[in-house]
Amino acid sequence: MKKFYILLVALFLVNGAMGQWFPQNSGTTKNLFSVHFTDANTGYAVGDSGIILKTTNGGTNWTPQNSGATRCLASVYFPSNDTGYAVGSDTIIYKTTDGGITWTSRPFSKGWYFSSVFFTNVDTGYVVGGHTYYIPPSSYAAILKTVDGGTNWSNWYEYSYNWSVFSSVYFTDANTGYVVGSAPYGMGSTILKTVDAGLSWSINPIGGIIPKSVYFPATDLGYIVGSDNLQGTGEYNLGKTTNGDGNWTFQNIGISDTLTSVYFTDTEKGYVVSQSGIIRKTQNGGTDWTIQYSDSAIRLSSVYFVDENIGYVVGNSGTILKTTNGGYVGINDKHQTVNTPTICPNPANDKITVETPAKGNLSIHSINGQQLLQQEITEPTTTINVNTLPSGVYFVRVTSDKNVQVGKFIKQ
């Protein structure tokens, strides 16, 4: 049994060293599906049971907002600092104009389910999803548009296909936008494009991928991610276009791995997250992808970056991860260096000793990101009493001005 624990610790340490992604204390165990920030400090996350979380200090603390929503919220978007929208499966579009303090609701007839929301300015926005008729399996995917800040929504486009749904919408400017969607079980997938602010849409059927998310870091450079169209055979899960005009190339960057969200900080550097709990990064426009984070117990749903360094990922069980240096790990990192402190004994029963050359702040976090202990360290060796902690896996984080050290230990 002791050998098993030592092996488990080693695996966790290797995993933690992959990338500089740190868990944040979300204060919830509900699944989170979308994250969006309006500036470096202020952000929102939405998920199951209508939960809306807000942070005003860069993810250190998250507080729930009272929106009145009770069912799953799948997407959140803020076109300005105070004005934002949240949509999901309860046939309602929620809006705030005071940074989440109060929310108004715009209900629709039963049967709607909304997957994604995007605004090109404070007045003009789009919501995509689907609608199921009362006699299945008849259904259609739809694009809704508002030009008056959500007071009125028009059904600007319908796409009829058995059990079809649009999953993601993204605009590169006021006129040019993309919508991706599919029917399940390999029945068909499509990419729609508009160049006239949604007055008309061109349809580009695609094969090999069921798209979940679309993102364009430049006018003609775009990416879609999803799952393979043959349900687990590992055909494709990422598509790329360089002309924005219907020509897409597809590849697989993780066998049988469903990618759920994609975000690029520039034309070369991008991130994808997956249902298998993996964060991948490319630094050459998607030619190669490296794993920065991996935890098979967590399903990751959404990735968002405030700038080239600060990014957030959300997932199930209230998971919120944050990086402050693009997730990079290595001694040549120009922003910070990440090392692993020496923690012994490991596993531990009553006390642990942390050895680190850095003076600074030491904190212990649960596997869900909750901070359980924090203290200043002034000596290279620090002993901490952990006998009150329940059995489980914990993070140890030591931070100084120029150095971050992260390790994990098991409390028996």
Q: Are residues 263 and 361 in the same domain?
A: no
Q: Are residues 318 and 370 in the same domain?
A: no
Cα-atom radius of gyration of the chain, to the nearest Å?
22
Q: Where are the beta strands (DSSP E) in 252-402?
A: 259-264, 270-274, 278-282, 290-294, 300-305, 311-315, 320-323, 337-339, 342-344, 351-355, 360-366, 371-377, 381-385, 392-399
pLDDT for residue 293: 86
Q: Are residues 317 and 374 in the same domain?
A: no
Q: What is the mean pLDDT of the chain?
A: 83
> Mean pLDDT, to the nearest integer, of 308-335?
79
Distance CA 235, CA 229 (A): 7
pLDDT for residue 375: 83
pLDDT digits (tens, 9 = 90+) for 363-392: 888 765 667 888 888 888 888 888 888 888
Top pLDDT among 344 and 37 is at 37
pLDDT digits (tens, 9 = 90+) for 27-63: 999 999 999 999 999 999 999 999 999 999 999 899 9
Residue 13 lies in a domain: no
Tell me the backbone φ, ψ of residue 9, rounded to 5 degrees.
Answer: -60, -45
pLDDT digits (tens, 9 = 90+) for 212-254: 999 999 999 999 999 875 544 556 889 999 998 778 888 888 7
Q: Are residues 308 and 378 in the same domain?
A: no
pLDDT digits (tens, 9 = 90+) for 246-292: 788 888 887 678 999 999 999 999 999 999 999 999 999 999 998 88
The set of long-range contacts for 170-173, using a CB threshold of 8 Å and a minimum separation of 24, is 170/118, 170/214, 170/215, 170/216, 170/222, 171/118, 171/120, 171/126, 172/216, 172/218, 172/219, 172/222, 172/244, 173/120, 173/219
pTM above threshold 0.85: no
Residue 219 lies in a domain: yes
Which of 75-84, 333-342, 378-387 bottoms out in mean pLDDT, i.e. has the lowest? Answer: 333-342
Q: Are residues 319 and 377 in the same domain?
A: no
Q: Are residues 54 and 184 in the same domain?
A: yes
CB atoms within 10 A of CB 184: 12
Q: Are residues 140 and 161 in the same domain?
A: yes
203: which 2 tokens? 């349809």
Give the residue from 274, 298, 323 where a domain finishes. Answer: 323
CATH number, domain with residue 359 = 2.60.40.10
- State yes or no: cis peptide before 205, omega within 30 of 0: no
Which of 85-94, 206-215, 353-362 bottoms out in mean pLDDT, i.e. has the lowest? Answer: 353-362
Give the residue from 300, 323, 346 where a domain finishes. Answer: 323
Residue 138 lies in a domain: yes
* Angstrom distances, CA of residue 398 to CA of 9, 173, 340, 357, 383: 18, 43, 9, 10, 13
> Mean pLDDT, to the nearest integer, of 84-111?
91
pLDDT for residue 95: 97
Residue 330 lies in a domain: no
> Mean pLDDT, to the nearest integer, of 155-178?
81
Residue 329 lies in a domain: no
Q: Could you tell me which residues are beta bridge partners of residue 410? A: 393
Q: Are residues 392 and 294 in the same domain?
A: no
Residue with tokens 């794993």: 291
Distance CA 302, CA 400 (A): 29
pLDDT digits (tens, 9 = 90+) for 162-173: 447 899 999 999
pLDDT for residue 336: 40
Domain interval for residue 377: 2-8+336-411
Residue 106 lies in a domain: yes
- Assess contact for 316 and 307: CB atoms under 8 A: no
Q: Is 90 exceeded by the pLDDT of residue 335?
A: no
Give the residue from 302, 323, 344 where a domain finishes. Answer: 323
Residue 119 lies in a domain: yes
CATH number, domain with residue 35 = 2.130.10.10
> Mean pLDDT, to the nearest integer, of 104-108?
90
Residue 258 lies in a domain: yes
pLDDT for residue 41: 95
> Mean pLDDT, to the nearest integer, of 395-408?
74
Distance CA 262, CA 186 (A): 22
Q: Are residues 318 and 272 in the same domain?
A: yes
Q: Are residues 394 and 344 in the same domain?
A: yes
> Mean pLDDT, to the nearest integer, of 14-29?
71
Q: Are residues 313 and 359 in the same domain?
A: no
Q: Are residues 308 and 371 in the same domain?
A: no
Residue 46's closest CA among 99, 85, 12?
85
State how many domains the chain has.
2
- Assess contact for 272 and 258: CB atoms under 8 A: no
